[in-house]
Amino acid sequence: MKILYFSWLREKIGVPFEELEVTSSTVNDLIKELIKVDQKYALAFEDIKLLRVAVDQKVINDLNASIKNAKEIAFFPPMTGG
């Protein structure tokens, strides 16, 4: 699964994206799975209020959203476009 990071989340993780084999079936589980792998994920995901997630380029509003069959998951802070 391709996992992408943007803005200061990218800076905290240290890479714009990575290809990982994951076993989780929801976004929430994926976050927990990543935190177990490395401390940097714990730091990046520390303030859950500032965390936004897109599954296959669609923003999800519930961290219990399924990621089964998903091709890419993106983590980023609130958008500041325009």
Partner 1 sequence: MKKIFRDCSISVNIQNSDFDINSEMDLIKSEKKIGGITNFIGVVRDSSKEEDQLLSLELEHYPGMTEKAIMSICIEAKKRWKPNYIRVIHRIGILRKGDNIVLVITASAHRKEAFKSAEYIMDFLKSRAPIWKKEHFKTYSKWVKSKEKDELALLSW
Among 76, 77, 79, 81, which Cα is nearest to 3's? 76
76 binds partner 1 (CB under 8 A): yes
Q: Give me the least distance between CB of 14 and partner 1, in Å please.
A: 15
Q: Which is nearer to partner 1, 21 or 78 (CB)?
A: 78
Q: To the nearest 10°, the Cα dihedral for 47, 65, 56, 42?
A: 30
Nearer to partner 1, 41 or 75 (CB): 75
CB of 23 to partner 1, least distance (A): 25
Q: How many CB atoms lie within 10 A of CB 44?
A: 23
The span from the CA of 55 to the CA of 82, in Å, is 22
Q: Which residues contact partner 1 (rule: CB under 8 A)?
A: 4, 6-8, 10, 54, 57, 59, 74, 76-82
